[in-house]
Amino acid sequence: MSLKIKNVTIYTGRGDKLIQSAIIVEANKIIAVGEEAVDKEAETVIDGQGKTIVPGFFDMHIHLGMDGIADPFSQIATDSQATSAYRHQANGKKQLQSGVTSVRNLGSKWHIDLAYRDAVNNGIVTGPTVYGSGQPIVMTGGHGYPLASEADGEDEVRKMARQTLKQGADVLKLMATGGVMTPGVDPGSPQLSESEMRTAVEEALHAGKTTASHAQGTVGIQNAVRAGITTIEHGIFLDDETIELMIKHDTVLVPTLAAPYYIVQNADSGAIPPHAVKKAMYCYEVHKESFRKAVAAGVKIAAGTDAGTPFNLHGDFAKELELMHEGGMSIRDIITAATFSAASVLTVQNETGSLEKDKIADFIILSEDPEDKLSAFRSVETVYQGGEVVHVY
């Protein structure tokens, strides 16, 4: 049965904005959009006057096994595999209800994100489309080691990359630097070397997969970019040389501005580990300035929140979009970063990520136009996944 939603504003995800337009879906696909849809009949018609439709969002950096409590590593240390699996489902549902129809999970102990992905794909549970990394690959004692696979030297990293791909990973996650949450490591300090990361990149490419690197310090970011990493996560300390290198290598930045924001905003709670507060306070302003410079220079951006880190809750994707706007991105560029650009990073842009004919019908209806009011990203009324309503507010 075909469904037409008419008299709506549509952001296609490719930079276009259609006024008083329409979209028609049938089964799980878009069969018409824009002028073609306005002129075409459908079996069911909904008048969406005053509403705005955007593609389903992609959150390109989340941790489904973490709830956003003040000390998420304590949660990882005490959860059983079964508890973690339930947590993945609960947090995935929150993502879907907020309009995030696809997620890239970048780190789950026991590779549980991959099992959760399969459960969603097989219809066992309802959740967003999941692209998972399984356990990240880190140096011994490296950032995130409580939920990661430790490896040292090119041979060990290569073997671990192959083992992670064997588990079914869609993307390999590597740690190029230290980070905020892990005690005893410096966010600016390099960890896995350029040559170590390059071996993992090679294995990912051989398997037709992509890569992501946690990279906060300048040297580590440059190592990751030269190694051929697909996306730089966080990118806190970006200088002009590093930005030029990213543009040269066509490297995408996933800024995760919400992660340090929420630690800084809740620094006085007394609940966040002191080492994390100290490091986040040090990085916060630098991170914002690095993002502004990257946007101004034309670095490719894909939206991601790092949801699951302290006070950074699943289902609050809108905060990242708001912070990106504060950092100099236009509304249309933000929508593209959260939809088509994200799908392109995952190499699924021909199937999803924009509102175009023959693509999967993942989209959300907003009660307001985000170009009129930034808070419109929070005014999600209905979430469609594969042409079916999966959530109504």
Of 216-230, 263-277, 357-371, where does mean pLDDT reach its minimum? Answer: 263-277
Report d(CA 102, CA 344) in Å as an integer. Answer: 13
CB 227 within 8 A of CB 280: no
Report d(CA 14, CA 146) in Å as an integer. Answer: 39
Confidence class of residue 357 from pLDDT cuts 50, 70 and 90? very high
- Residue 187: per-residue pLDDT: 80
Mean pLDDT confidence for 225-241 = 97
Two tokens, residue 348: 């699924």
- Residue 60: per-residue pLDDT: 98
* Geometric angle at alpha carbon 331, from 330 and 335, rounded to 5°: 120
CATH of domain 2-55+354-392: 2.30.40.10
More confident site: 268 or 234: 234
Instruction: For 30-41, write each residue's pLDDT tens digit.
Output: 999 999 999 999
Confidence class of residue 350 from pLDDT cuts 50, 70 and 90? very high
- Residue 345: per-residue pLDDT: 98
pTM: 0.96
- Residue 182: per-residue pLDDT: 79
CATH match for 57-345 among 3.20.20.140, 3.40.50.720, 3.20.20.80, 3.90.1150.10: 3.20.20.140
CB 97 within 8 A of CB 128: no
- Residue 82: per-residue pLDDT: 98
The domains of the chain are located at 2-55+354-392, 57-345
Give the gyration radius of the chain's Cα atoms.
20
- Residue 276: per-residue pLDDT: 86
Confidence class of residue 81 from pLDDT cuts 50, 70 and 90? very high
Q: What is the 3-state secondary structure (H, E, C) of the chain?
A: CEEEEEEEEEECCCCCEEEEEEEEEECCEEEEECHHHHHCCCCEEEECCCCEEEECEEEEEECCCCCCCCCHHHHHHHCCHHHHHHHHHHHHHHHHHCCEEEEEECCCHHHHHHHHHHHHHCCCCCCCEEEECCCCEECCCCCCHHHCEECCHHHHHHHHHHHHHHCCCCEEEEECECCCCCCCCCCCCECCCHHHHHHHHHHHHHCCCEEEEEECCHHHHHHHHHHCCCEEEECCCCCHHHHHHHHHHCCEEECCCHHHHHHHHCHHHCCCCHHHHHHHHHHHHHHHHHHHHHHHHCCEECCCCCECECCCCCCCHHHHHHHHHHCCCCHHHHHHHCCHHHHHHCCCCCCCCCCCCCCECCEEEECCCCCCCHHHHHCEEEEEECCEEEEEC
Confidence class of residue 270 from pLDDT cuts 50, 70 and 90? confident
- Closest C-alpha to 221, from 280, 180, 177: 177
Q: What residues contact residue 108 under an 8 Å CB cut-off, 6+ apart? A: 63, 64, 65, 84, 88, 114, 116, 132, 133, 134, 135, 147
Instruction: For 271-294, write each residue's pLDDT tens digit.
Output: 898 888 888 898 999 999 999 999
- Residue 186: per-residue pLDDT: 78
Confidence class of residue 255 from pLDDT cuts 50, 70 and 90? very high
- Residue 184: per-residue pLDDT: 74
- Closest C-alpha to 212, from 331, 122, 106: 106
- Residue 188: per-residue pLDDT: 81
- Mean of per-residue pLDDT scores for the chain: 96
- Residue 41: per-residue pLDDT: 95
* Geometric angle at alpha carbon 373, from 370 and 374, rounded to 5°: 65
Confidence class of residue 376 from pLDDT cuts 50, 70 and 90? very high
Instruction: For 151-202, write each residue's pLDDT tens digit.
Output: 999 999 999 999 999 999 999 999 999 888 777 777 888 999 999 999 999 9
Q: Side chain identity at 164, as an amino acid letter? A: T
- Residue 180: per-residue pLDDT: 82
Mean pLDDT confidence for 354-373 = 98
Mean pLDDT confidence for 1-7 = 97
- Residue 248: per-residue pLDDT: 98
Residues above pLDDT 90, as percent of the chain: 92
Mean pLDDT confidence for 298-310 = 98
Confidence class of residue 245 from pLDDT cuts 50, 70 and 90? very high
Residues above pLDDT 70, as percent of the chain: 100
Rounded to 5 degrees, what are φ and ψ at 25? -125, 150
Q: What residues contact residue 233 under an 8 Å CB cut-off, 6+ apart? A: 61, 106, 212, 213, 214, 215, 254, 256, 304, 306
- Residue 279: per-residue pLDDT: 82
